[in-house]
Amino acid sequence: MVSTDGRHRAAVLGSPIAHSLSPVLHRAAYAALGLDGWSYDRFEIDEAALPGFVEGLDSSWAGLSLTMPLKRAIIPLLDEISETASSVEAVNTVVLTEDGRRAGDNTDIPGMIAALRERGVEKAESAAVLGAGATASSALAALAEICTGPVTAYVRSRERGDEMRGWGERLGVDVRVADWAEAEQALRAPLVIATTPAGATDALTESVPKDPGTLFDVLYEPWPTGLAAAWADREGAVVGGLDLLVHQAVLQVEQMTGHAAAPLAAMRQAGEQALAAR
């Protein structure tokens, strides 16, 4: 448990970072929990600047959130990482312990699972993943917990396909690879996880089936994406990037502050209001 006596600073690091909603979510949690002395900031930090920043942290720091491109770059600077983070070689959370150790974790994976469960998705017989970047490997790790059958990854290159197969072998997921040109077939899966950049799935909107399953689109801005809007129009269940962001942030707040239950509703409301104001 992180002491609140003298350890009250946290921040998100990454590049670019100006768009990050993490300060909004964490500050909302501090306000709801009555942590008046806590602060949460954002810092534009790239891979070259990361070691110096971490070495300069003093005893007032309780934790860090990491976004791209730092989720792997942080690992050599840590004293320990969790099994969850090790499984995908990506850390998005660092807790600075009272004895000065740096402990890394990945809350994206349990955050994905929690976001799906909140919408009633406990298990899936099969799934499709659109994309093959860093978020896709976290998606595979989440699917290792809830998917009982094969996962088809739709990718743009053979190299990306090989990477996804490799993650599948490592995570114990039966990954099958298909070319991006066939991505409209993905939409027939009972669970579709879109991990692609903004605009990448726009061409698929006309291919959403009449009775779709569940779409988890990890983007939160712009929202809804074209695919998410078309999915909702056909009365399919939609889980969005804000759901993921809030659930992973809840776990970060709990780890950094030592509070057992972060205020999910207050954090989501703050995130929604911030996005509406943009």
Residue 210 a catalytic site member: no
Which of 89, 93, 97, 87 has the alpha carbon at shortest distance from 106? Answer: 93
Phi, psi of 45 (to 5 degrees): -135, 125
d(CA 190, CA 200): 21
Determine contact, residues 180/156, Cβ cutoff 8 Å. yes
d(CA 209, CA 83): 38
Determine contact, residues 90/65, Cβ cutoff 8 Å. no
d(CA 1, CA 21): 25
Q: Which of 7, 71, 247, 259 is catalytic?
A: 71
Number of neighbouring beta carbons within 10 Å of residue 40: 25
Determine contact, residues 205/226, Cβ cutoff 8 Å. yes
Structure tokens at 45: 């930090």
Which of 176, 187, 173 has the alpha carbon at shortest distance from 145? Answer: 173
Determine contact, residues 237/215, Cβ cutoff 8 Å. yes
Which positions are catalytic? Answer: 71
